[in-house]
Chains A and B, each alone.
Chain A
Amino acid sequence: MAERIIVEKNLVVRHGAIELAEHWAIAISGLILLLTGIFELPVAKRYYIITVPGLSWSADFITSLYLHYAAALVFTAAGIFHLFYHGLLGEKGMIPQKGDLATSITVVKSFIGIGKEPPMHKYLPEQRLAYVGMAFIILMLIFSGLVKTYKNIYAPDMPQMVLLWATWIHNIFFVLFFLAFLAHMAAIALRPNRPMVRGIFTGKVCLDYARHRHSLWVNEIEQCQVIPMALADETTLKAADQLYDASTVYEPEAQILKAGGIEDKVPLAQEEDKATSARE
């Protein structure tokens, strides 16, 4: 795991290259699968999708199948890789923990101004729950898709009961996958979650954000990582200065301030002041 604090840049590495590659392989192939899956239904002619520039191929089921297979190859390989790679490494950060449901409710309530978020680990409790849901949907899609692919190539006369199960599992989980995708987009559109978006593109999130929201995670990293004192002082003070003047910080940080983050961070800055005075 590449998690570490880059104090001089006020960043924390949240995802390594492998996690980013996994995420984007599954995300992009998943979207292609959704689109070509829709085009495997007889909708393109009926709904005039073929008249949309660039989509004239959409009514050709064999072309859609090519693309569907190509995306399925990436989706399946990436999904199985994810399961076994992290499983073999014993990484359990995304596995739901006891109390996640109750904590998720607390977090969701805090979004609408009821109560405060508890200190959190790298992943939010609702993220862990959503992960299990999404993983189950993906596994069912992969499993039923493999049965259907096998049928297409080797067993067109497969027993109809097996075929019907595979077909309806694929169809139902296709709808659930689409809904899960919409929920995922809605989750990252929520203001408190927006600073995490940067992480899935660059692998890094703002240290201030991480300290504010994922304090348990940052503490864990700090225990393992030796940060040069001079740098730590300089960066913390710089970060604290920025916190006092929200107009100079970039937008996501400003949102943290508006969301009440300043209350958590002022004592941090004050503590730092005390520590500096003590050293003097």
Chain B
Amino acid sequence: MSNIMKEKKDFNINRRSFLKISAGAAALTGLSLPKTAFARTEAQLSTLIDLSLCDGCENLQTPACVGACKAINKDKIPQVVGNIPEPWPRKTIEDWSKKQEVTNRLTPYNFIYVHKAEIDVRGQRKTIFVPRRCMHCDNPACATICPFSANSKKENGAVVIDQNLCFGGAKCKDVCPWEIPQRQSGVGVYLHVLPGLMGNGVMYKCDLCNDRLSCGKLPGCVEACPRQALLIGPRKEIERIAGERARVMNGYIYGKTENGGTATLYLSPVSFELINNTMAKKPGQPDMKPDVKRRMAATDPLGKAVLAAPALGLIAAGALNWFSRRKEMVKKEQKNNG
């Protein structure tokens, strides 16, 4: 145990040093202000959630990351209309506006929660706290197949829902292996179109505090963590640190390959299979199944064929055109000959 603690100390890089890393990278690209440079390098960022450091803020009523996130986003959702239009024909309304205080699951008003996992490791009882939020996948189906492109992946890696474009159809939730986005009915653009027939609110989830990142600030959860269990930095650096820490603690990483790779790496001294066993997938409470496949990856070969289709059409047109002209020529020659 003391060994692990020592190793933790050795590899404990704080947030300030990440700003320094970013500033160095920015200096190379000719930018001088470290804080703004952090965002403007537009390098892909990653976050590291070190479960060996997270204690779930048990001494606090609400974990610091959850509290900070709620405080930052408290005014995000506009006032919900008094009479939420009843969707037709399926009459599902999801209204969390009167349960804004909920913190033990994901809701439109709560983008991060902490799962407490009690695990038996070789006869020893271990408690692991797992902050859960959007993983900010590398190729997120929630964003790529949003029919209105309301959900999009930013160059810095954040996956962000534009609440002014979202109709709340919940397609993003359906295609997310962790069903992260949560719907609030009675808000959003659908109210001004055909509220009874089309749309049902707006989907909400963690956006990695993208606005704060663009001002050179840290995401609320990262900034608030008293144990520096959450870190953010350039992707390669985060991957390197996660790898080194995992090697030293003989630990496990989650998020590097799951769903095709994500911009969130969990580091744990306990296997994620064991952690996952403590998680029953419920609405707003995702599981943590290792090796989750990116389902859309199976459609990529066909998609690549679609991208090649114009060339196929062109080649076929050229070949058949040549054939038609040649046939015509042969006909003419035959006619001339006799």
Chain B, interface SS category? helix
Bound Cα distance from A81 to B170, whole angstroms? 38
Report the separation of the CA atoms of residues A62 and B299 in the bound assembly, to the nearest whole angstrom: 8
Question: How far is it, in angstroms, between the C-alpha of A72 and the C-alpha of B200 when the chains are bound?
Answer: 30
Using CB atoms, name the residue of chain B closest to A40. B147
Q: Is the CB of A46 within 8 A of B89?
A: yes
Interface residues on B, range: 35 or more
Q: Are B149 and A42 in contact (CB under 8 A)?
A: no
Q: What sequence of 0s and 1s flags, for each residue 76-111 of chain A, a beta carbon within 8 Å of any chain B beta carbon?
A: 111111111100110000000000000000000000
Known A73-B302, A149-B303; judge A156-B309 contact (CB<8 A): no
Q: Is B194 an interface residue (CB 8 A)?
A: no
Known pairs A156-B140, A156-B143; A65 contacts B316 (CB<8 A): no
Q: Which one, A81, A150, A171, contacts B148 given CB within 8 A?
A: A171
A45 touches B90 (CB 8 A): yes
The answer to whether A153 touches B300, judged by C-beta atoms less than 8 angstroms apart, is yes
Interface string of A137-152 (1 = CB under 8 A from B): 0000010011001111
Contacts A40-B147, A62-B295, A150-B307 given; indicate if A85 touches B302 (C-beta within 8 A): no
Q: Contact size class for A? A: 35 or more
B147 contacts A80, C-beta separation under 8 Å: no
Asked whether A76 lies within 8 Å of B310 as measured between CB atoms, the reply is yes
Asked whether B152 is an interface residue with its Cβ less than 8 Å from the other chain, the reply is: yes
Residue among B154, B296, B299 having the largest count of chain A Cβ atoms under 10 Å: B299
- Indicate if A167 sits at the interface (CB-CB under 8 A): yes
Residue-by-residue, is B266-305 near A (CB-CB < 8 Å gives 1, otherwise 0)? Answer: 0000000000000000000000000000011011101111
A22-53 interface code vs B (CB 8 A; 1 in, 0 out): 00000000000000000011100111100000
Please determine whether B295 and A81 come into contact, CB atoms closer than 8 angstroms.
Answer: no
**Is B144's beta carbon under 8 Å from chain A?**
yes
B160 (CB) vs chain A CBs: closest residue: A160
**With A80-B310, A81-B317: A42-B299 Cβ-Cβ less than 8 Å:** no
Which segment, of B24-32, B102-110, B318-326, faces chain A? B318-326
Contact: A152 with B147, CB < 8 Å? no
Chain B residues within an 8 Å CB radius of A77: 309-310, 312-313, 316
Q: List, in ascending order, chain B residues with CB within 8 A of A131's CB.
A: none
Task: Please state if B174 and A61 are interface contacts (CB–CB under 8 Å).
Answer: yes
Interface contact A69-B303, CB-CB below 8 Å: yes
Q: Are A62 and B316 in contact (CB under 8 A)?
A: no
Per-residue interface assignment for chain A, residues 193 to 219, with 1 indicating a CB less than 8 Å from any chain B CB and 0 otherwise: 000000000000000000000000000
A88 partner residues in chain B, CB cutoff 8 A: 317-318, 321
| Those 5 A-B pairs whose CB atoms lie nearest each other, nearest first | A80-B313, A42-B169, A76-B309, A84-B317, A81-B313
17 contacts between A and B (CB under 8 A): A40-B145, A41-B169, A41-B171, A61-B141, A61-B174, A65-B145, A66-B298, A69-B299, A73-B302, A74-B309, A76-B309, A76-B313, A85-B321, A145-B306, A152-B296, A163-B152, A164-B149
